[in-house]
Amino acid sequence: MEIRWADGHRSVLPHEILRGYCPCAHCQGHSGTIKYVPGGDLDLRDLQQVGNYALQFTWGDRHDTGIYTYRYLRSLCQCDDCKPSFRPPGQS
């Protein structure tokens, strides 16, 4: 997936990264530390806008509880400029 932001930046977001860093409580728990969780169906079946602040994905296995804020999506960028310093929010 690619997102072109208002400031001209183009984020590269592979499905493996989006699904692996799903922000829902089922995937991340309640510890506050964001971690990569491998697995799950990477087929993106649906994409819905949530208000003016986030996107919600429905994956091939019907997992759809993660709400990805635009700020969070930007932090997951895997482009050449961002990837060397890639660190999702909540990770040190």
pLDDT digits (tens, 9 = 90+) for 35-77: 999 989 999 999 999 999 999 999 999 999 999 999 999 999 9
Residue 55 belongs to domain with CATH number? 3.30.2020.30
> What does the DSSP 8-state code read for residue 26?
H
Count of structural domains, the chain: 1
33 in any annotated domain: yes
- Which residue matches tokens 């296995």? 61
48 in any annotated domain: yes
24 in any annotated domain: yes
Q: What pTM was computed for the model?
A: 0.86
> What does the DSSP 8-state code read for residue 83?
G
Range of the domain at 12: 2-76
Which pair of structure tokens corresponds to residue 76?
A: 């997951």
Instruction: Count other C-beta atoms under 10 Å from residue 30's C-beta.
Output: 5
